[in-house]
Amino acid sequence: MSSKPLDEVRDERAAAGLLPPTPATDAESLERQVRELGDWFHNLNLHGVHTAPNHFLGDFPTVKWKNVQRVIPEDLTGATVLDIGCNGGFYSIELKRRGARRVLGIDVDERYLRQARFAARTLGLDIEFQRCSVYRVNELPGKFDFVVFMGVLYHLRYPLFALDQVVKKIGGSMLFQTMIRGSDQLRSWDKDYPFWNTEIFRQPDFPCMYFIENSYAGDPTNWWIPNTAAVEGMLRSSGLDLLAHPEPETWLCRPGTRLRAGDYLLEQEIAGYPEDLADEGAHG
């Protein structure tokens, strides 16, 4: 049996990820526990201790939240929330503070999930955090009144496969954000173009996604970075109505009526298109 004091054993096990650390009450040990949880991407304010004070984007994501929060109902009493790619839990925490009944944060990275659990416990908030990929949201029961899908799309090798699944989990609305590069211009495009029109593809504001074969910003998980027109086109094409655009990278949206033959596009894509659509030349 170990002769170490119980507190020390508990701290060591917590640092190894075997136990959720018990949130400390004094700033010094809180600071130590925060550092033991590794590098943070979210700069949270845990009773005066900042988790990522030197973030390259400044006080992140507070700087983003300042612009987007006005499009979210201030009172979410009774609502259910799904925060996809929740990271350190910033958005989960803010939405719980607005009164949401149930907040579920999902992520694929255990380190971030440990940080999020620690932050919620430290702040005394009842939030669930679960390891789950966006590609498996269909396994979560039911729909959610409010879905947060921020900062994840460009990390995905299969972005539309994910987006089409996420749409099916939205019971009310969704806050969506992605990194954007290239043109930020929007204009209306024709519904169709002749095969020989190659000119449109030379227009920088034509909807497009940049494919990153190796790495961008030192991150090999940055796969596809859309321009603004592509973001809006993809959201619409996945069946969403765009309700608000509170800052350049963020949209508030909700499922609309753009289902094909009453079905989600995801089902049609996987099952194969119905004959009448194929007849229209959809699969030239």
Ligand X SMILES: C[S@@+](CC[C@H](N)C(=O)[O-])C[C@H]1O[C@@H](n2cnc3c(N)ncnc32)[C@H](O)[C@@H]1O
Q: Which residues bind ligand X (CB under 6 A)?
A: 41, 61, 84-85, 87, 106-109, 112, 133-135, 150-152, 155-156, 177
Residue 64 vs 206, nearer CB to ligand X: 64
Query: Token pair of 236, please?
Result: 């619409």
Distance CA 179, CA 102 (A): 28
Nearer to ligand X, 24 or 180 (CB): 180
- CA pair distance 5, 219, nearest whole angstrom: 41
Quote the least distance from Cβ 100 to ligand X, whole Å: 16
CB of residue 137 to ligand X, shortest distance in Å: 9
Q: Is the CA virtual torsion 74, 63, 143, 86 positive or negative?
A: negative
Q: How far is the CB of 168 from ligand X (least distance, A)?
A: 16
Which of 134/234 has CB closer to ligand X? Answer: 134
- Please check whether residue 242 is in contact with residue 222, taking contact to mean a CB–CB distance below 8 angstroms: no
Q: Which residue number, 39 or 275, has a Cβ lying nearer to ligand X? A: 39
Tell me how far apart the alpha carbons of residues 40 and 56 are, in angstroms, rounded to a whole number: 12
The CB-of-116 to ligand X minimum distance in angstroms stands at 9
Residue 133 has a CB neighbour count (10 Å cut-off) of: 15
Show the DSSP H helices in the chain as ranges.
6-15, 27-36, 62-68, 90-97, 110-122, 159-167, 228-237, 265-271, 275-277
Nearer to ligand X, 87 or 238 (CB): 87
Closest distance between ligand X and the C-beta of residue 232, in Å?
Answer: 19
Region label for 182, one of left (φ > 0), alpha (ψ between -120 and 50) or beta (otherwise): left
Instruction: Say what the alpha-carbon torsion angle 209, 72, 262, 258 is, to the nearest 10 degrees.
Output: -50
Q: Which is nearer to ligand X, 158 or 193 (CB)?
A: 158
Q: Minimum CB separation from ligand X for residue 183, in Å?
A: 22
Residue 206 identity: F
